[in-house]
């Protein structure tokens, strides 16, 4: 067994990492937009008509009434008869998120988003200017609230995992410091699923072996953790012992895309393969558009279907030749669905995912029977259609199958597709 050395205080210069988490983000933005909602139970919910009628976010008063994320609108109203239901405004959420990031930029350029409402900041090089991590965290909380009307909870620690844990420990509008000196006392007694990357399935596996707390993970042998959870188990052991050394990315670094997916929940259940294919055609165009924007090609396609019992089944297949063409994605997606899916229950939602992405400038080896001329012809048509839609609107050109209706929500998502000649 190779030796593992856990850094101790004094061995290396500790970093100062902040994790900033916007409290009740969607609901807080709605209250900032409409001050009459402040102090009242507010729930941001999807549209019930589009079968998205669940709670996406809730204000602090709504949370105190027992309303939880994932509750249906009916459940939310049952828990709190005075709850105010508002529909999400994602453009506003994005704009507020960018405003808050602009505030973070005053202190550091090492800013790594973790979703729209969370960011890690490495302020190690800023302490000579702005004070220690706790002081910077308090200043950020005051500034964010003053300039945006939103509040943040901030975790301050010597690594990203513990900083994230700190921001979760005390909410709303609070600063929590976890140092190398006191992290064992502060966090080892917390349940194991409080640790980043310990999801529901992983927690159940840990519980089977009597591992209930973060301290239990830390005190287990690394070989045992690797045995029951593979590499992830060993990583969790390092995290629990304070040995996370992952850096905070620079704000200008864009993460490499590993896959591109688009999915939709239909207003009515799909009852046949033909109806599913109409929806898939819409989704493949959206996936194709994103791949083209990122200059990527897919080498595999996956289709995920959720039936009325909310069971999800996924089917995937490798492409004969890398592509970002909507028609080729569509053909492969329909093929993998028809070959594998047994239509026992009606389908509620479908997702199409392009994976194993490579650059569109990569050299590719052709097979003898592959029709590269047809591939290029389809690509040229797609390029032209993309230019038309970008200039005149997404619905300027669409697939003929949409004339028969696709049971997709209207006014909620981008409706673009290929013309009849392309499918």
| Residue 238: closest CA among 256, 221, 263 | 221
Task: Kindly provide the residue ranges of all beta strands, DSSP E only, lying in 198-295, ordered along the sequence.
Answer: 259-270
Distances from the Cα of 257 to the Cα of 251, 260, 359, 360, angstroms: 16, 7, 10, 13
118 annotated active-site: yes
Structure tokens at 278: 């109409």
Beta bridge partners, 45, equal 55
Using CA atoms, how far apart are residues 328 and 285, in angstroms rounded to an integer? 10
Residue 345, C-beta contacts closer than 8 angstroms, at least 6 positions apart: 307, 308, 309, 311
Q: How far apart are CA 181 and CA 91, in angstroms?
A: 42
Cβ contacts of 187 within 8 Å, gap of 6 or more: 162, 165, 178, 194, 214
358-366: long-range contacts (C-beta < 8 A, 24 or more apart)? Answer: 358/296, 358/297, 358/299, 358/322, 359/295, 359/296, 359/297, 360/295, 360/296, 360/297, 360/324, 361/295, 362/297, 362/322, 364/321, 364/322, 366/321
CA–CA distance from 164 to each of 18, 141, 169, 244, 303 (Å)? 8, 16, 9, 12, 33
- Residue whose entry in the numeric block shows the structure tokens 């505030």: 103
Q: Which two tokens stand for residue 417?
A: 């597709």
Catalytic residue among 30, 91, 98, 118: 118
Three-state DSSP class for residue 110: coil
Interaxial angle between packed helices 231-240 and 222-229, expressed in degrees from 0 to 180 and rounded to the nearest 10:
140
CB 41 within 8 A of CB 67: yes
Enzyme catalytic residues: 118
């Amino acid at each position: 067994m190779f030796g593992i050395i856990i850094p101790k205080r004094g061995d290396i210069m500790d970093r100062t990492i902040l994790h900033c988490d916007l409290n009740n983000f969607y609901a807080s933005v709605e209250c900032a937009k409409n001050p009459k909602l402040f102090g009242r139970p507010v729930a941001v919910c999807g549209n019930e008509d589009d079968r998205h009628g669940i709670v996406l976010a809730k204000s602090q008063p709504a949370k105190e009434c027992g309303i939880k994320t994932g509750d249906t609108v009916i459940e939310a109203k049952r828990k709190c008869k005075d709850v105010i239901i508002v529909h999400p405004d994602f453009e506003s959420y994005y704009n507020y998120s960018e405003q808050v990031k602009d505030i973070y930029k005053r202190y550091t350029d090492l800013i790594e988003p973790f979703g729209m409402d969370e960011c890690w900041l490495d302020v190690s090089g800023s302490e000579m200017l702005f004070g220690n991590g706790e002081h910077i965290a308090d200043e950020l909380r005051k500034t964010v609230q003053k300039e945006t009307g939103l509040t943040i909870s901030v975790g301050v620690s010597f690594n990203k995992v513990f900083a994230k844990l700190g921001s979760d420990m005390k909410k709303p509008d609070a600063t929590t410091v976890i140092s190398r000196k006191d992290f064992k006392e502060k966090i080892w007694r917390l349940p194991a699923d409080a640790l980043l990357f310990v999801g529901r399935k992983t927690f159940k596996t840990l519980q089977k072996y009597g591992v209930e707390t973060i301290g239990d993970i830390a005190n287990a042998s690394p070989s045992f953790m690797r045995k029951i959870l593979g590499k992830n188990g060993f990583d969790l052991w390092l995290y629990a012992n304070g040995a996370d050394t992952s850096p905070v990315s620079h704000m200008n670094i864009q993460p490499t895309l590993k896959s591109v997916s688009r999915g939709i929940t239909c207003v009515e259940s799909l009852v046949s393969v033909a109806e599913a294919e109409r929806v898939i055609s819409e989704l493949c165009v959206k996936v194709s558009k994103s791949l083209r924007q990122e200059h990527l090609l897919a080498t595999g396609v996956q289709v995920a279907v959720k039936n009325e019992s909310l069971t999800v089944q996924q089917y995937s297949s490798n492409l004969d030749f890398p592509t970002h063409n909507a028609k080729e994605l569509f053909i492969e997606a329909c093929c993998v669905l028809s070959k594998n899916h047994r239509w026992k229950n009606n389908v509620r939602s479908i997702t199409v995912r392009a994976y194993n992405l490579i650059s569109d400038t990569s050299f590719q080896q052709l097979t003898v029977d592959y029709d590269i001329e047809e591939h290029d012809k389809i690509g040229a048509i797609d390029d032209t259609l993309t230019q038309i839609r970008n200039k005149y609107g997404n619905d300027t050109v669409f697939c003929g199958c949409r004339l028969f209706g696709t049971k997709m929500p209207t006014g909620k998502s981008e409706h673009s597709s290929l013309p009849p000649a392309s499918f």
